[in-house]
Chain A
Amino acid sequence: MSIRMPCVAKCRRRSNDNEVASVTLQSIGKSFAGVPVLRDISLDVADGEFLTLVGASGCGKSTLIRIIAGLEPQSTGSVLIGGVPVDHLRPHERHVAMVFQSYALYPHMKVFANIALPLVMSRLRLAERLPLLRLLSPRRRKVMAGIADEVHAVAKQLQIDGLLDRRPSQLSGGQRQRVALGRAMVRQPAAFLMDEPLSNLDAKLRVHMRSELAELHARIGTTFVYVTHDQVEAMTMSDRVAMMDNGEILQLGRPGDLYARPANVRVAQFIGTPAINLLPAKANTDGLVELFGQQVSVRAGRSPGSALTLGIRPESLTPAPAGTARPGMHVLAGRLRRSENLGAGHILHVDLAAPAHGSVTCAVAAPLEAFACDGSELALQFAPAACHVFDADGERMNDDNAPPFATIAQSRARALT
């Protein structure tokens, strides 16, 4: 985690190495014209951490990152960077860099000038930047030479050193993305703020840039706050994920935690593809969950008769020929409506036996077996441990029934710290 590029480490102007780059939000609230878009958000991003804000559009994640950047004033609360309140500071004084979805490259400047701009702005006085007037400055040339060195170093790191003489319009989407990253990196900010930086790339490049961004973070070790609506990006790159909805953080945790122990129905639905199956259930008199009249050996934690929602991930369902049973496993009977071939596996859409019970999706890693052609009867088996129980309000119930994925999440977490 703490491997830094020699140049970055050398040039970094920090007084206290482990405090400077943390980002803390203290009960941030924001309303636009009386309509609240953020409610009481508190968050602690540790130095060097990669934290992702994920959520559907309109959940307030972009507003939150813009508040951190200083582009938008918060209505209430306080932003601290490196433990110091920055609420009164202008964006450039907060020492954060931002990468925009549109890249926001300056179209009239070449790549070199685009990357150099933050340094030019901070190291040259206004008069030294103005045309003609700048020719009078004796130190300008020396400063510019220093800037050029740093720009070249960053460009080399991002493998865009051959493009410095081009204009943004002559670059591909991926190259523009790198230039935007370069412009953010060159000033060695306390934190990187990224607002959906991969959304404008095509699917293939997005996958590639995802791993590159993760590697970049590992290499320079600066704090990243990353906004995305794509749960895959959130899951694959982050140390921690904050899932937002309707201006609130629904759950904050390691990616594995969000997947394995979603705090409520909305998180469960958002994380994981294909989406989790949510089935209506209720608590029975034995204190266990009752699903479509059959008892599931999962504790309900609610008084008998209260409504529950049982969540089963598609990958926790195992299809078997109708009528087969395995000890310790529960079974949902159904008929295969349609299967989707993904190459490495299949996604099955299964109508449950009783029409009122609806349908479920089921993801199988193995190749489809003979029994699974369209219309065939299936028995979908699942283990009680794979069940997520939510109460009538959609909050998670069965914390003592953590599915086996939790162990994976924990081992990943251990590897990270």
Chain B
Amino acid sequence: MTSAAAIPYVAQAPHPDRQRMIERVAGIGFAFPAFLLLLLTNVVPLLVLLYLSFTDFKLGALESHFLGLDNFRKALGDPVFRRSLANTFVYVAIVLPGAVGLGLLVAVLLHKRKRTRSFYEVIYFLPVTSTLIAMATVWQFILHPRLGPVNGVLRAMGFDAIPFLSEPAYVLPTLAAIGIWQLVGFNMVLFLAGLSAIPRDLYEAAEIDGCRSGIDRFVTITWPLLGPTTMFVIVTTSITAFKVFDTVAVMTRGGPMGSSEVLLYAIYLEGYQYFHMGYAAALTLIFLAFVLLFSILQTFVLERRVHY
């Protein structure tokens, strides 16, 4: 083989190595702005967070000490943290099936409507567009033991008033119900998109093949073909639910007696009320690990079942 160098300057295209070099530089050049942005907004803060979690840094303190894994050790034994973790899981366990199930139900019911569909869509989607902080205040009024209309109706019907937000046993389900109310519209829209992607032919074929009832159609066609949508909805819903904060901060402040203390609220208290930044950083890392684990687990478990 004659080497390329033996031919004096006739090559029209640059030397392959040079060509590869140019492509690499161009590629890096194009990716650089996005990479820089990602670095500044995600990677650097994460690294700072990681560093802080190994120290006893307090906001405003002039010096801090390296503690190693002490913060994490402390978290494992901290009753407040453990309670907030447990509360968060209970909250997710209520919101996830509620928001996904109701979202699916509403979507299936609305899908066949023609004239009234957009009307209901708007109604169910309104909570999504509203600011949850503001809505939390409204909910606080609605559920107020003495002034709220809900308890007003209950009393008028002869029942006792229910202390939705002041009874430890009721507070998490109440917050979860508000969380569901806020998420149903969003999930509904996702499910509606999934439903309209199912070819009408399949329902007709199923009708001829003997799918008699709505249940038959749902089990045979709708549910399996909504698999990818459902997986997406489950992942986004559980992460959103895991991040519950607004309603707790506005309505209960973790009370009564810590019964509505959730993970993000505990982190907020440690960091911004008690200024234990180092400890809060450690808790945040644990929180992130959970969210990551959640997504990975669901992606892998569900992916195998929805793939076709």
Seen from chain A, the residues whose Cβ lies within 8 Å of a Cβ on chain B are: 69-71, 90-92, 96-98, 100, 102, 104-109, 117-118, 121-122, 126, 129-130, 167, 169, 183, 187
- A98→B224 contact, CB < 8 A: no
Interface segment among B106-114, B212-220, B252-260, B266-274: the answer is: B212-220
Contact of B210 among A69, A70, A106, A118 (CB under 8 A): A118
Q: How far is the CA of A90 from the CA of B224 in the complex (A)?
A: 24
Given contacts A92-B211, A121-B209, contact A102 B219 (CB under 8 A): no
Q: How far is the CA of A96 from the CA of B215 in the complex (A)?
A: 22
Given contacts A71-B204, A98-B205, contact A121 B221 (CB under 8 A): no
Contact of A107 among B204, B206, B211, B225 (CB under 8 A): B225
Smallest Cβ distance from B169 to chain A, in angstroms? 32
Closest to B211 in A: A121
Smallest Cβ distance from B218 to chain A, in angstroms? 11
A100: chain B residues at CB < 8 Å are: 201, 204-205
Closest to B215 in A: A126
- A97→B199 contact, CB < 8 A: no
- B201→A92 contact, CB < 8 A: no
- A104→B199 contact, CB < 8 A: yes
For B, the interface residue count at a CB cutoff of 8 angstroms equals 22
Given contacts A69-B208, A118-B209, contact A130 B219 (CB under 8 A): yes
B199: chain A residues at CB < 8 Å are: 102, 104
- A106→B221 contact, CB < 8 A: yes
Seen from chain B, the residues whose Cβ lies within 8 Å of a Cβ on chain A are: 199, 201-202, 204-213, 215-216, 219-221, 224-225, 227, 308
Number of contacts between A and B (CB, 8 Å)? 70
Q: How far is the CA of A128 from the CA of B205 in the complex (A)?
A: 21
Q: How far is the CA of A118 from the CA of B212 in the complex (A)?
A: 11
Contact of A92 among B207, B220, B221, B224 (CB under 8 A): B207
Smallest Cβ distance from B198 to chain A, in angstroms? 10
7 pairs of residues in contact across A and B, judged by CB atoms under 8 Å: A92-B211, A106-B205, A106-B206, A107-B308, A108-B224, A108-B225, A169-B308
- B215→A90 contact, CB < 8 A: no
- B208→A102 contact, CB < 8 A: no
B308: chain A residues at CB < 8 Å are: 107-108, 167, 169
Q: How far is the CA of A90 from the CA of B206 in the complex (A)?
A: 12
Q: How far is the CA of A183 from the CA of B204 in the complex (A)?
A: 14
Closest to A184 in B: B208
